[in-house]
Structure 1
């Protein structure tokens, strides 16, 4: 299935049904009074997060979706049928933005979460509603109100605890194959990875985290070069970034300059798109140590650490040989669980809950 992570669609809620003007006519009751019923409410349009979906490809080919209109009222005070709601499934991690106002309507981060994006029109009133002591035979009715129409931008951002960052062929796909059951394509040419890949890493039973491998970032990505700029947004939800450094690049480029280029792209991307990527914690992971002698690995590693004045964690691994990956994964797991515990304590102290924040983000109620 083709991976599509951004689409624009139009949604139209159903119009409310009109009320009708009717009078009761029965034998021996020549003036039975008004009995025109109300119309039915129009159907609303909802989005629901579906854990079985991982792409927005279906919405690329069909761009308009409408809910049913409410039916008009009937005689004998019969109310028109309500229009059926329309529920559209989207992948977990989908952000919904109103294209007209650029307002964030909702951010669907949990399976089963339902979001109202277009409210159905209110029903019209039949003439029975207008009967009064001074108007015994009203002929007044009202039409149903139109349903909401919205143009929506759906943007999928994969949900992962850890994001892999690095140049093409830095070994990201090999690393994720080594530590998880994910099987992204691996080859010795640039841009092997064309779509994000997710893998579940379980260093111990019942303890795991999700890691995301995105297409490699090249210099100039923030200005639109290469594939990485399109997918950098997927790293925005991660807690931790692993910057994989190829110690022996196939193009014989300088690993230090490569590291500087990627860090520079993070800064430029964050400024250009008002992102917090440059604020996220980054661990340096020196990869492909199996291709160098031990002394060469130490020399290359120390040169980069000293040049960057690196104060954060760093690791030396070989994704292909699974060398050093076990310790790295355990440390990642400990870090993620520690951060989650810290976040839970903060929530308890402030008394806020993610559900409350989420419901306030784009409520149309």
Structure 2
């Protein structure tokens, strides 16, 4: 692992347990039975620990959509052609994609990043951070070099730093890249030592024949590249994608800046798994938004140690599930800020809530 990345990882701090306890104490004084708001209370306590503030406030919100192409698409593993990646990037920038609609609903901004699209792209709203024009075909060799993977991670870290300086305090992961369920499935298979048949889903909606072909391509890529399961950066470089590496950096960057990071679906969770192996402390800063329909997502979340708040049968990606979770996270903080305590409302507590 490059020294600069090691330095950044060493700067990630554990969440503030005193703030967690203070938030827990405050929640127990609110006019409700203890723990009765379930995950809302857990989110409130986690946010307190992340920020070090008992009742933190949310500033600006952003979903960071990393976009890149995958050389493995040469193997015919997707129902859509690679050109869709660049077309969708322009759709994001024009505000016409599903994530744009849901972000507007949540009063959040979409930050679209070209980190590895296999075409020259220009748009006033596009963040151009291209590391290279798409990955190589992992079925024929490493998807990228370790240096390129490291550079892509740095892009994500630096972008969070830039946005945090602009007042953004709540982030979500999003992605676009035809072929990226193949890369994510390969990462999951190696890092968790799961059988490939349990990690590979239908992605963009492939049929049974192409699904079997996709599994075979992943098996061939793993056999050819021999990634080190104990070295997440090696696995990421040999089997991953530039957008997955970029999101790994976004997650690490959020942890560095003590900001909550909302994890979207299968591809985002593959990045979260890599981040968790590189920097275990980063897991405490992650909030799982939903469980995707994509096969293997439940295994990914369990491997990280995350529990999703939503089950919406979604499998679009883009950050759509993560953005849907923004209002729930804000609701958890409104409970902390606006709900009356037993004392202020003059409501009697149960015996196990009183000091006497």
- Shared fold, TM over 0.5: no
The structure with higher relative contact order (CA 8 Å, sep 6+) is: 2
The higher radius of gyration belongs to 1
Which has a greater percent of strand? 1
Which has a greater percent of helix? 2
Q: Normalized against structure 1, the TM-score is what? A: 0.29
